[in-house]
Amino acid sequence: MRALRISLVLLVVLGGLFVLVDRVAVWFAEDEAAGRIKSSEGLASTPDVSIGGFPFLTQVASGELDDVKVGIKNYEASTGGTGSSAGTIRIDDLNAEMHGVAFSGDYSSATAGSATGSASISYAELLKAAKPEPLDVGFGIKTQVMGLSDGGNGKVKVAVEVTVPGSKASKTLSVLSSVSVSGDTVKVHADSLPKLGVQLAEGRIRSITDFEQKIEQLPGGIKLDKVEAAHDGVEVAVKGSDVRLVG
């Protein structure tokens, strides 16, 4: 009985040591992965990296990790264009969960079989694509998009200021718009057009109410999937396959 008790104690101690070593190895691996992702993506700050699954060391031995979560704050995504027309849009929070992450023996490269996640873009950032400068839509009527906000039920509310010739003051109209994803582009399309008091071609009015924003070169090659209006901005679902984390 004494020998059995000693064996059980040894098993518990060794098991505890294995768990401790395994968790320490995870911590070092997460720290190393975060540094490599920061360098390869040219990030301003170090991302959060969390490696799931237990035990970690057996995953390392197999050369593939079950799950890796990556969180990036204030990511500057490309809006397309070249030279002076090139621009960026800030994504406040970009989070992705990678599955089946295979890595090389020297850890210089890592690729996920699949990935899903989300990206949060504020209304202030999206407003940059909405032609916020005044626009003459005809008959001397000046219009200007003044702001974007949550319209409820997944809609974006577009505030349009309208100035009619001869009027002493401008007025602000609210337009509920649907938001969608087409390829690498987020599109905002008015469900119904505002009444401006004169007969104008639909295209003229939509030139101010409707707009779109390209979002390119997301980390690892992940792509836009779908989008929905939220309280402080739009929430974009992202996904990808053969997503490159490092290398």
Whether 68 is covered by a domain: the verdict is yes
Q: How would you list the strands of the sheet with 135-138, edge to edge?
A: 135-138, 141-152, 155-163, 171-182, 185-190, 211-214
Tokens of 18: 């294995």
What's the domain range around 36?
Answer: 2-119
Whether 193 is covered by a domain: the verdict is no
Whether 43 is covered by a domain: the verdict is yes
pTM of the model: 0.84
CA–CA gap between residue 54 and residue 51 (Å, rounded): 9
Whether 210 is covered by a domain: the verdict is no
Number of domains comprising the chain: 1
For each of the chain's 247 residues, which pLDDT tens digit applies? 555 455 444 444 444 444 566 777 788 888 988 888 888 888 889 999 999 988 888 888 888 999 999 999 999 999 886 655 568 899 999 999 999 999 886 667 889 999 999 999 999 999 988 777 787 887 788 888 899 999 999 999 999 888 888 777 788 888 999 999 999 999 999 998 877 666 666 777 788 889 999 999 898 889 999 999 999 999 999 999 999 887 6
Whether 177 is covered by a domain: the verdict is no
- Contact at 8 Å (CB) between 211 and 94? no
Whether 74 is covered by a domain: the verdict is yes
Whether 61 is covered by a domain: the verdict is yes
